[in-house]
């Protein structure tokens, strides 16, 4: 009996929560427990409190909370229904118009190595970003729950921050992706705004030709919602000097739209390394060092800067200035740059 109890305590410690937000007044909390359990979720601050009690045990848990206020700090606590033992707890806020200074992080391609992904997550958490962007390929296969279990375990250090993912080719089916994440719009592609920054999250696995609904949505958004900085995020890079290379259709169809309507920064993954490429006044970042096996460059002279290693990119916004820094998991600065509004 004692041995079983010790094993149970160790197994349930492998838990994590992912917080996504479909709107400025709601969030979805998704979490994993290594054994089937029913849980209690409490979300609260000085003026708000709600408790949800699950009726059925599960290993994967999803709950939505509405009636929240943007830019307010909330605390959450997840406990087992059968005891007062806390599974996990943390803080979050839904950024809309934060103070003039804030930080966010981008990383991608975490899919294949739990230990490496966890080291990247730990390094990101030490920066205390307001939110985290994932450029796709979170898991090796969207259909395999074991892969998602590893994803939740690896992202435990990020349980205090909002998470904004996009679909990579390994999440193409997106059944579990859409279950575990709650995002604006149709969730396949969407936008959100944080102060002076407009984030445009695209799905390069779905049609984006000029006759597609995604292209029409993107063009209308870029025309109608100007921002000091417009940042486009999708998985397949327009420009890359590594194994996958340039995405022909992205370069042919989307890049002219970016150049015409003043996109300032483009974030992608897919190639498992770091690259910074400058093209016609736009900064293109490949950040695919989140845990998958690493790729070398085919042409090291192509990017302005590059790195074969696990990494993330920290962005710091302050009074109209957007600065990016690529860090490895040892918090060594690999590359630093400024993004200038077009």
The tens digit of pLDDT for each residue in 223-278 reads 999 899 999 999 999 999 999 999 999 999 999 999 999 999 999 999 999 999 99
Parts of the chain belonging to CATH 2.60.40.10? 19-92
The fold of the 101-339 domain, in CATH, is Purple Acid Phosphatase; chain A, domain 2 (3.60.21)
* Residues written for the chain: 342
Handedness of CA 312, 214, 19, 322 (dihedral sign): positive
pLDDT tens profile 10-69: 344 446 799 999 999 999 999 999 889 999 999 999 999 999 999 999 999 999 999 999
pLDDT tens profile 52-95: 999 999 999 999 999 999 999 999 999 988 777 777 899 999 99
Residue 291: pLDDT over 60:
yes
Strand order in the sheet with 26-37: 58-65, 26-37, 16-23, 162-165, 131-134, 101-107, 311-318, 321-328, 333-339
Parts of the chain belonging to CATH 3.60.21.10? 101-339
DSSP single-letter state for residue 123 = H
User: What is the architecture, at CATH level 2, of domain 19-92?
Assistant: Sandwich (2.60)
pLDDT tens profile 196-211: 999 999 999 999 999 9
Handedness of CA 102, 108, 111, 115 (dihedral sign): negative
CB 165 within 8 A of CB 107: no
Q: How many CB atoms lie within 10 A of CB 34?
A: 16
The confidence score (pLDDT) of residue 15 equals 66
pLDDT tens profile 320-330: 999 999 999 99
């Amino acid at each position: 009996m004692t041995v079983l109890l010790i094993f149970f305590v160790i197994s349930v410690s492998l838990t994590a929560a992912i917080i996504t937000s479909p709107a400025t007044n709601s969030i979805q909390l998704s979490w994993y427990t290594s054994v089937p359990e029913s849980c209690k979720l409490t979300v609260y601050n000085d003026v708000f409190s709600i408790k949800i009690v699950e009726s059925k045990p599960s290993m994967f848990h999803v709950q939505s909370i509405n009636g929240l206020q943007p830019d307010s700090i909330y605390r959450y606590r997840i406990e087992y229904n059968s005891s007062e033992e806390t599974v996990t707890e943390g803080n979050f806020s839904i950024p809309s118009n934060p103070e003039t200074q804030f930080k966010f992080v981008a990383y991608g391609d975490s899919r294949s190595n739990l230990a490496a992904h966890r080291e990247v997550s730990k390094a990101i958490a030490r920066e205390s970003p307001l939110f985290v962007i994932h450029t796709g390929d979170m898991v090796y296969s969207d259909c395999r729950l074991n892969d998602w279990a590893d994803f939740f375990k690896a992202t435990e250090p990020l349980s205090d921050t909002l998470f904004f993912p996009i679909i990579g080719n390994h999440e193409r089916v997106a059944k579990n992706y859409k279950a575990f994440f709650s995002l604006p719009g149709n969730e396949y592609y969407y936008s959100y705004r944080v102060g002076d920054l407009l984030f445009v999250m695209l799905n390069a696995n779905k049609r984006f030709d000029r006759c597609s609904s995604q292209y029409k949505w993107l063009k209308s958004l870029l025309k109608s919602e100007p921002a000091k900085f417009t940042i486009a995020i999708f998985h397949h890079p327009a420009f890359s000097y590594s194994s996958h290379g340039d995405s022909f259709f992205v370069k042919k169809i989307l890049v002219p739209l970016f150049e015409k309507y003043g996109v300032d920064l483009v974030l992608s993954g897919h190639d498992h390394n770091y690259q910074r490429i400058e093209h016609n006044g736009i900064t293109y970042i490949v950040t695919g060092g989140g845990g998958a096996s690493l790729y070398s460059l085919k042409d090291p002279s192509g990017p302005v800067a590059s790195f074969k290693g696990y990494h993330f990119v920290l962005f710091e916004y302050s009074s109209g200035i957007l600065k990016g820094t690529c860090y490895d998991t040892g918090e060594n600065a690999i590359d630093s740059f400024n993004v200038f509004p077009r």
